[in-house]
Copies of this chain bind each other. A is one copy, B any other.
Amino acid sequence: MGTRERIVDAAEQVIREFGIAGATTKRIAAAAGCSEALLYKHFPGKEKLLLAVLLERLPALGPALTRLRLAAGTGDVAGNLTAFTLAALEFYTRAAGIAAGVIADPSLMAGFRAMLAASGSGPHLPILALAEVIADEQRRDRVDREIDPGAAASMLMGACFHRANLSYYVDPPGDDAAWAATLVDTLLRR
């Protein structure tokens, strides 16, 4: 395993243990068994290191979106969307700690926001991708055309993101799978 990989692994582990606020580059370098200077050679700022953890170590939303896109027009729309909803819930549950840490640190957030703007990236993109799949299923007449795809995607992703955050404070009521299925049924009903 190369140094870069060791650093990303160490960052993930240190964040899980100490929170973002406690995930200093000093601590991460120590966990990775390298110097802080070497860490900075691979990651010029803490925000770049956090982005690497988010993009490379979390169960990604990308593959779940790809599966959903490939399933368009096949199988049961509600079943496909429910499976995706559960994957989104898992992703946000894992990502919530890091996302919270970025928001909680105004200077880190400023760097993160600038980096996202420069790369045209951001956490809003999965909503747009989900909206596209819903619009595609509408064109196939498998989803009610009265639904606004963007609104439906905002609500489905938002409910997952919220539930993932709520689970830090309380045990969310009900089973995840039943919860996801009820959401999709309420959204798609004709």
Chain A interface (Cβ within 8 Å of chain B)?
17-21, 96-97, 99-106, 109, 112-113, 116-117, 122-124, 144, 146-148, 150-152, 154-163, 165-166, 168-170, 172-173, 179, 182-183, 185-187, 189
Find out whether the CB atom of B113 lies under 8 angstroms from the CB atom of A168: yes
A168 to B146, CA, bound (A): 31
Q: Which of B19, B113, B158, B161 contacts A170 (CB 8 A)?
A: B113
**When chains A and B are docked, how far (Å) is the Cα of A61 from the Cα of B105?**
25
Contact yes or no, B152 A186, CB < 8 A: yes
In Å, the complex CA distance between A46 and B92 comes to 27
Q: Is the CB of B170 within 8 A of A162?
A: no
Question: Do B169 and A159 touch across chains, with their CB atoms under 8 A apart?
Answer: no
Residues on B with C-beta less than 8 A from A179 are 151, 154
- Establish whether residues B104 and A20, one from each chain, have CB atoms under 8 Å apart when the complex forms: yes
Decide yes or no: A97 and B105 within 8 Å by CB, A124-B170, A186-B151, A189-B147 being known contacts. no
Contact at B101–A104, with CB atoms within 8 Å?
Answer: yes
Across the interface, A99 reaches (CB within 8 A) one of B21, B100, B156, B183, namely B100
Can you name 25 A-B residue pairings with CB atoms under 8 Å?
A21-B105, A97-B104, A101-B103, A102-B168, A104-B104, A109-B169, A113-B170, A116-B169, A122-B169, A146-B189, A147-B189, A151-B159, A151-B182, A151-B183, A151-B186, A154-B163, A155-B155, A155-B187, A158-B158, A158-B159, A158-B160, A158-B161, A159-B159, A161-B162, A187-B187
